[in-house]
Amino acid sequence: MSDTPDSAVQTARTHAVRAYVEQHRAAFLDDLAAWLRIPSVSAQPGHAPDVRASAEWLAAKLTETGFPAVEVWETAGAPAVFAEWPSDDENAPTVLVYGHHDVQPAAREDGWHTDPFEPVVRDGRMYARGASDDKGQVFFHTLGVRAHLAATGRTTPAVHLKLLVEGEEESGSPHFRALVEQHADRLAADAVIVSDTGMWSETTPTVCTGMRGVADCEIELYGPDQDIHSGSFGGAVPNPATVAGRLVAALHDEDERVAIPGFYDGAAPLDDAERALIAELPFDESSWLATAKSHGVLGEAGYSTLERVWARPTAEVNGIGGGYQGPGGKTIVPASAQLKISFRLVAGQDPDKIELAVRDWLAARVPAGIRYEITFGAPTRPCLTPLDHPALRSVAKAMSLAFDGAKIRFTREGGSGPAADLQDVLHAPVLFLGISVPSDGWHAPNEKVELDLLLKGVEAAAHLWSELPTARF
């Protein structure tokens, strides 16, 4: 591995990266637009051929970029794309980039100002489904590695570079873990770089250091064999809708802490250093609430809003139902009720133990006369980059170089992603390189990407392949 270049070399390289990126900007954006025209909506079976076309388009583009090995990998669902570009430095670290080429559903009538699959550039932004989530952010790695080679004069990257771009992320990645397990040897890496997240804002470049995990369950509660008359029987038999409500109420204590015994076991506490870093961010409650489309904050006592959504585990009711929900009233004791609850998990929490804790909690709380069933979905584990991880410093350095020397701050994501499967199966740290901003409108109408930020993503990727070999991790 090479040492960190001296300041003059660094400056020259930074200029060279930027010059190369500027030179190829137009073609890069034209290519991205071509990819965005393929409506690779994984959730809609009718778009399965488009998801495949998207994989094949990307594979061809990666070959054209120079990756010597490009493969379309089949899964039980939509295909993924794998590409590999070994370094001629045998001692170089191996890096696996993760992203996805499928997109959320989108239709003009949902409120799009233009066709979601006909990209339009307006005011320095490209509007299209997938522009930032995630095709744009996957795509910056194509020009990124070319700029890296151009600026360093290398013929191969300074890292053994691998890409895995899946096609089912927007459908919950149902086959991703199996794919990773199947190809664990090919995917082996010293670090995973996830390009499927974002930054704090256009003016506050940040690096994400973790995502929460998630475990979700559905609880069915059965009372009378059919809806019964609440006048004749109400007040004398257990009501499954009442039980559902009591379970919801029992999820939290008065401090809004999750009240399921054992829930917090092993959960990594927030240390003062990270709390200080979070406090550095220019958080404004009213604009956060506007983004959340909410009208008040409420959460675990003793933590700020950002700490609550990024670094604390939660229990959330996603759905509840039972009895009569039509217009007017109906005087019944309902036959059944259901609850859908998801738990966000932080580092140190084990979804399997959470499942057992929830099952025990439920068994202790459902009264006699009510039968229940509980089913859990496949969990996603949390992942967290330690703030002192050398590779994290490399990512921050690469971002800073792309952002003209700006101070890089750190965030987390409250959501969950399949990156944790890579962490678990490959036993590699996960890092995040993303340039999307909250206004990009992921999953919403008029999704866009800020073109200047997208090109800074290209630069950051180019720099990262030079920086990582110095990290000695």
Q: Which is nearer to a copy of itself, 8 or 368 (CB)?
A: 368
In the bound state with a copy of itself, the residue whose beta carbon lies nearer, of 195 and 342, is: 342
* 245 touching a copy of itself, by CB under 8 A: yes
| Closest distance of CB 54 from a copy of itself, Å | 24
Smallest separation, CB 188 to a copy of itself (Å): 29
Nearest approach, Cβ of 241 to a copy of itself (angstroms)?
4
Q: Applying CB under 8 A, does 113 fall inside the site for a copy of itself?
A: no
From the list 19, 176, 215, the residue with the least C-alpha distance to 98 is 176
From 55-63, 79-87, 250-258, 385-393, span contacting a copy of itself (CB under 8 A): 250-258
| Buried/exposed 233-265: b ≥16 CB within 10 Å, e otherwise | eeeeeebbbbbbeebeeebbeeebbbebeebbe
Pairing type for strands 332-333 and 228-229 reads: antiparallel
For a copy of itself, which is the closer residue by CB, 219 or 425? 219
Q: Please pick, from the candidates 241, 384, 395, 451, the single residue that binds a copy of itself as defined by CB under 8 A.
A: 241
Axis-axis angle for helices 135-152, 451-467 (nearest 10): 50
Options 31-39, 78-86, 244-252, 262-270: segment touching a copy of itself (CB under 8 A) = 244-252
Residues 395-454 that bind a copy of itself (CB under 8 A): 413-416, 443
> Please, which residue, 229 or 407, has the CB nearer to a copy of itself?
229
Contacts 24+ apart (CB under 8 A), 392-397: 392/207, 392/209, 392/431, 393/471, 394/464, 394/467, 394/468, 394/470, 394/471, 395/193, 395/207, 395/431, 395/432, 395/433, 395/464, 395/467, 396/207, 397/463, 397/467
Contact present, 431 and 469 (Cβ < 8 Å)? no
**Binding piece for a copy of itself, criterion CB under 8 A, among 129-137, 159-167, 335-343, 396-404:** 335-343
Q: Which 202-221 residues touch a copy of itself, going by CB under 8 A?
A: 212, 214, 216, 218
Q: Which helix (H) or strand (E) holds 242?
A: helix 240-250
Shortest Cβ distance from residue 298 to a copy of itself (Å)? 4
Please report, as residue ranges, which positions from 118 to 177 form the binding site for a copy of itself (by CB under 8 A): none
Q: Which two tokens stand for residue 2?
A: 């090479």
Contact flag: residue 247 with a copy of itself (CB under 8 A): yes
Our finding on whether 105 is near a copy of itself (CB under 8 A) is no
Q: How many CA atoms lie within 13 A of 470 on its CB side?
A: 15
Smallest separation (angstroms) from a copy of itself to the CB of 110: 12
φ/ψ of 192, rounded to 5, equals -110, 130
Contacts (CB under 8 A) with a copy of itself, residues 272-331: 289, 292-300, 305, 308-309, 312, 314, 316-325, 328-331
Nearer to a copy of itself, 46 or 235 (CB): 235
Residue 342 engages a copy of itself in binding (rule: CB under 8 A):
yes
Residues in CB range of 363: below 8 A, 6 or more apart: none
Neighbours of 293 (CB within 10 A): 6
